[in-house]
A and B are shown apart, each in its own frame.
Chain A
Amino acid sequence: MHLYPAAWRARYGVEFQSLLEDMKPGFLDIVDILRGGLQMRFAHSNFWKMGAVFALAGTLAGVVVLSALPAIFISTAVLRLDSGDVGELARGAFSRRGLYEIIQREKLYEGLRAEMPAENIVERMRRDIRIQKTKGNAFEIAFASSDPAKA
């Protein structure tokens, strides 16, 4: 009943309650009452007031979603090769051995290392690294981590 606007309850509340006592509502009736209450709220609410309610609900939902998402920090560097090929360098850098050495040396993914085999950690790091060729022999390398110091 409290889903209905106060003005509606003041006008129809007593007789509506009396109807419910007479008919002894089942599950579908309760759904019907909830739907009726929502429709009545929409029908009798001020447009701007409803807009403000939805804007507030949207903002709150956004804050909840953002606070539930882990923060990601990305460090980016642009490097230029005086000799050699970017592709060749990337293949070497992305090799299992190369990446695992970096993981151990820099103490990366410490939490995951106790739970996952080394191959999975290396795969995870491959996903966290992005290499993009820019101009000539220059390329951009980025690494994403939830720890700002590691990134």
Chain B
Amino acid sequence: MSDPNLLVLASLADGDKHGYAMMADIQEFAQVRLGPGTLYGAITRLEERGWIRALASGDRRQPYTLTAAGRRHLEEQLANLNRVVSTGLNRLRPA
């Protein structure tokens, strides 16, 4: 699973994070290292779609939070993914 949009949404699901923290978190939970261009490409798209939002910050590191629409989208995507995983595992099981 290497969809950067989904990885960023999943990273923000347990709390607000800035870019570097997201990158480290994603590497830890998904074993995927997002490059800076890929990460900020995803952040830009997700913010444009209203799925994440920048929080007020006095720091140069900009934290982001998941919006309600972003949480719904993530739940739908994970449910779809879960169906695919369950189906695949069932089909692999010996008859």
Complex CA gap A40/B40 in Å reads 10
Chain B positions within 8 Å of A19 at CB level: 18-20, 23, 36, 39-40, 61
Does chain B have a CB within 8 A of A36? yes
A15 touches B44 (CB 8 A): no
Q: Is the interface of A mostly helix, strand, loop or mixed?
A: helix
Q: How far is the CA of A29 from the CA of B61 in the complex (A)?
A: 19
Counting residue pairs across A and B whose Cβ atoms lie within 8 Å, the total is: 63
Query: A33 — which chain B residues lie within 8 A by C-beta?
Result: 35-37
Give Cα distance in the complex from A8 to B43, angstroms. Answer: 12
B38 at the interface (CB under 8 A from A): yes
- The reply on A32 being an interface residue by CB < 8 A is yes
Interface residues on A, range: 20 to 34
- Chain B residues 57 to 90 lying within 8 A of chain A, measured CB to CB, are 59-62
The stretch that binds B, out of A20-28, A59-67, A70-78, is: A20-28
- Among B18, B23, B35, B61, the one with the most A-chain Cβ atoms within 10 Å of its Cβ is B35
Residue from the list B19, B35, B38 in contact with A16, Cβ < 8 A:
B19
